[in-house]
């Protein structure tokens, strides 16, 4: 199979799988409908972009239609960024101020109007002989690359902030979903890097086979990521409930109310409360409902744990859970308790998250810890 045949075959396969998955996303029922819709739109736009690798081999398309299809890429990275926002923040909603994100798409099409959309047939025929070196196409490539860099950076910023809010305010084990989103962003940055290399080769005086090979690598990478999407989405249909974007980080709270001696008193009360009442056994314990139980202000408790103890609320609570699990694992009166029963007993709801937290605290898996304790 030659390079052209392989490029066309993988392009058709990637487009078909992406569209099929988009249909699946739109049809599946989930709590976060906005997130699913944005993900579906992102996949549809991506499939249109992928189709450019083979559509010209089967259909005669005008230069104007081709350029309009190319400008659709201006919409892909903003939609991806909004998808990340909608998953990270439970209160994310579209507002009028978000319309400015359409500006690159509008400008990109305005640039194409004079010669590509409204140009005379003779003029278009002349342009088509060396279309990639026209200033409009060069402008399109440069602006798209700059736009992509901006939105990938913004996606990482949103993820980092949402993750910090989660660590400082929640103790449940949906943190794995943030890692999944980080992986998605990294994968698309890698694909974007491959696309830049492909475009550099396109404008360089290199052999046609090298450029064709770079196209095959790009399409194959997109196909792999799309399939990875499918597997992850099937295993995690509801993803997770995002945090409230209005929640302030501890550093911001400190700037507002400052540090005072009362936080030290709160730490003393907190340790006694954790030992006696064992609120950490609640898998969904948050800093807000813990503060409610202790009858203190959530922001005061947040500063006491996240700043004065220099420990995220997430790790603080998990430390108590792991200590409780260690006691149960070595309890000679309950030797028949399985690891699965113990993890649910101490407040975890996932075996993988329990193993990760346990190993972080003890450098051993629960099974290794129990075996070592029994042998000693």
280 and 323 share one domain: no
Same domain, 171 and 258: no
Task: Identify whether 204 is part of a domain.
Answer: yes
Q: What average pLDDT does range 346-365 have in this prediction?
A: 88
Rounded CA gap, 183 and 79, in Å?
Answer: 17
Query: What SS3 state is found at 215?
Result: helix
If you ran DSSP here, which 8-state letter would residue 249 be given?
Answer: P
Burial 173-211 (b: 16+ CB within 10 A, else e): bbbebbebbbebbebbbebbebbeeebebeeeeeeeeeb
**Domain assignment of residue 329, yes or no:** yes
Q: Which of 261, 293, 311 is where one domain is finished?
A: 311
Beta-carbon contacts of 128 under 8 Å, excluding residues fewer than 6 positions away, are 63
227-242 pLDDT, tens digit each: 776 676 666 555 446 7
Residue 350 lies in a domain: yes
Mean pLDDT of the chain: 83
Among 311, 332, 359, which residue terminates a domain? Answer: 311
- 261-300 pLDDT, tens digit per residue, is 566 688 889 999 999 999 999 988 999 999 999 999 888 8
Per-residue model confidence as pLDDT tens digits over 296-344: 988 889 888 988 888 899 999 999 999 999 999 888 777 778 889 999 9
Enter the tokens of residue 198.
């492909």
Q: Give this prediction's pTM.
A: 0.84
pLDDT level of residue 207 (50, 70, 90 thresholds):
low
Whether residue 337 is found in the same domain as residue 292? no
Looking at 292, 311, 330, the residue that finishes a domain is: 311
Domain membership flag for residue 242: no
Same domain, yes or no: 336 and 216:
no
SS3 content of the chain, % helix, strand, coil (to 5): 75, 0, 20
Answer yes or no: do 298 and 360 share one domain.
no
Q: Identify whether residues 227 and 339 lie together within a single domain.
A: no
Say how many domains are in the chain: 3
Tell me, what's the pLDDT at 258?
A: 61
Q: Is 170 helix (H, G, I), strand (E, B) or coil?
A: strand
* 252 in the same domain as 202: no
Same-domain check for residues 149 and 52: yes
Q: 240 lies in a domain?
A: no
Distance CA 236, CA 220 (A): 24
Alpha carbons 231 and 58: distance in angstroms, whole number: 31
Q: Which residues contact 145 (CB under 8 A, 6 or more apart)?
A: 196, 199
What residue numbers bound the domain in which 345 lies? 319-376
Instruction: Name 333's Cβ contacts closer than 8 Å, sequence gap at least 6.
Output: none
Task: Tell me if 243 is assigned to some domain.
Answer: no
pLDDT band at 260 (very low <50, low <70, confident <90, very high): low
Does 24 fall in a domain? yes
Both 324 and 193 in one domain: the answer is no
- Which two three-digit tokens encode residue 235? 């295993």
Q: Do 298 and 334 fall into the same domain?
A: no
Q: Does 301 share its domain with 207?
A: no
Claim to verify: residue 323 and residue 197 sit in the same structural domain: no
Within-domain flag for 241: no
Q: What is the CATH number of the domain that holds 206?
A: 1.20.1070.10
């Amino acid at each position: 199979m030659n390079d052209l045949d392989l490029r066309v075959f993988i392009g058709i396969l990637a487009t078909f799988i992406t569209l099929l998955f988009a249909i699946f996303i739109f049809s599946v029922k989930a709590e976060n409908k906005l997130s699913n819709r944005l993900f579906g739109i992102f996949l549809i736009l991506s499939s249109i972009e992928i189709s450019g690798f083979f559509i010209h081999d089967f259909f005669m398309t005008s230069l104007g239609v081709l350029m309009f299809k190319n400008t659709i890429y201006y919409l892909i990275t903003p939609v991806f960024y909004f998808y990340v926002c909608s998953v990270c923040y439970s209160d994310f909603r579209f507002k009028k101020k978000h319309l400015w994100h359409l500006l690159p798409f509008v400008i990109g099409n305005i640039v194409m109007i004079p010669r590509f959309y409204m140009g005379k047939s003779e003029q278009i025929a002349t342009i088509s002989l060396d279309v990639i070196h026209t200033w409009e196409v060069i402008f399109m490539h440069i602006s798209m690359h700059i736009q992509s860099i901006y939105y990938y950076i913004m996606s990482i910023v949103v993820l980092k902030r949402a993750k910090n809010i989660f660590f400082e305010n929640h103790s449940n084990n949906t943190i794995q979903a943030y890692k999944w989103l980080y992986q998605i962003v990294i994968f698309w940055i890698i694909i974007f890097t491959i696309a830049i290399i492909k475009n550099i080769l396109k404008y360089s005086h290199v052999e046609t086979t090298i450029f064709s090979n770079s196209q095959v690598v790009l399409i194959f990478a997109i196909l792999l990521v799309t399939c990875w999407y499918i597997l992850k989405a099937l295993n995690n249909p509801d993803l997770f409930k995002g945090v409230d974007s209005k929640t302030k980080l501890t550093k911001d709270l400190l700037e507002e109310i400052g540090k005072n001696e009362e936080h030290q008193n709160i730490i003393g009360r907190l340790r006694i409360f954790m030992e006696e009442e064992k609120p950490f056994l609640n898998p969904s314990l948050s800093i807000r409902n813990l503060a409610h139980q202790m009858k203190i202000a959530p922001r005061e408790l947040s500063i006491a744990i996240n700043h004065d103890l220099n420990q995220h609320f997430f790790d603080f609570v998990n430390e108590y859970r792991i200590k409780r699990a260690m006691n149960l694992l070595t309890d000679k009166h309950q030797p028949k308790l399985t690891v699965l029963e113990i993890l649910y007993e101490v407040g975890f709801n996932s075996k993988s998250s329990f193993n990760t937290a346990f190993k972080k605290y003890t450098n051993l898996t629960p099974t290794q810890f129990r075996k070592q304790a029994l042998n000693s």
